[in-house]
Every structure is written in C-alpha cells, then in structure tokens.
Amino acid sequence: MFNQQIIIFDGICNFCNGSVNFIIKRDHQNVFVFTPMQSKAAEELLERHQFEDFGFDTFVLIKDDVCYYRTDAALEIIKDLSGYWYLLKIFKLLPRSFRDFFYKLLARHRYQLFGKKPQCMIPTPEVKSKFLD
C-alpha cells in the first residue's frame, strides 16, 4: 500500500463515483487505491497528514506522503493514467485559484447535477482490492 497513491473521494456522490470508475479503467499500472471520505480509513489518513479545512466536496490524493486536493489532485492523477490524459496537465499553467474556482462551483452543485446515493458505493468483487477497508 505504501507505494500506491490513495484517492479519498465523496462516497455518496454519483459524479465522484463516476470519477473513481474512470480512474480504475485507466489505471493500468495499478498505482491507485481508493477510500470514501466517509470511511474510518480516510479519517485516519487525513488526520495523519494533518489535512484540515476540508469538506466532503474536496477530492484528495495522497502521493509520496504529500496531500494534493481539488484540481491539484486531479492534475496529479492524470499523470499516471493510460492514454493521452496527461495532456490535460497544461491546465497546471493556470493559477490554482482560477482552477479551483471552477472546481468549487462544480463541487457545490454536484448533487443537484449528478445526484447522490443513500450510502457509500460498494465495490464489485473485481475492484474490491483497489479499496481500503
């Protein structure tokens, strides 16, 4: 687990769950593991990394013992996906405050736009090994 990158996501958000499925399909190097923000594992990881001032609308990546969040997390993740997704790293040229403005706007309205589940997603047996308990 220590050489893998951990993605913490909102487990009841349909958009977030779709993003996790998107990443899983393109994670051919098997570098990502996932945990819903509502889990004990996420709580312990965020506390261990002293990650404060977050809400359930914040997407978090822990890579090489560094926490990335919001668009920085997304841009860091695409580096390791198969395909041409790495080309999106050009958005790193934009100021974080500008990128995160749009991130926060989408995050604020994600339930209205994409819906939510009454409970966290339950991984299928095929991908269960990619999730922390």
* pLDDT value at residue 3: 64
* pLDDT value at residue 53: 63
* pLDDT value at residue 1: 44
Mean per-residue pLDDT for 70-97? 92
**Mean pLDDT over each residue of the chain, to the nearest integer:** 88
What string of H, E and C letters represents the secondary structure of the chain? CCCCEEEEECCCEHHHHHHHHHHHHHCCCCCEEEEECCCHHHHHHHHHCCCCCCCCCCCEEEECCEEEEHHHHHHHHHCCCCCHHHHHHHHHHCCHHHHHHHHHHHHHCHHHHHCECCCCCCCCCCCHHHECC
* Domain boundaries, given as residue ranges, for the chain: 5-126
Mean per-residue pLDDT for 95-116? 91
> What is the per-residue pLDDT across 27-70, written as a single tens digit (0 to 9) for each?
999 999 999 988 899 888 888 887 766 666 788 999 998 999 89
pTM: 0.87
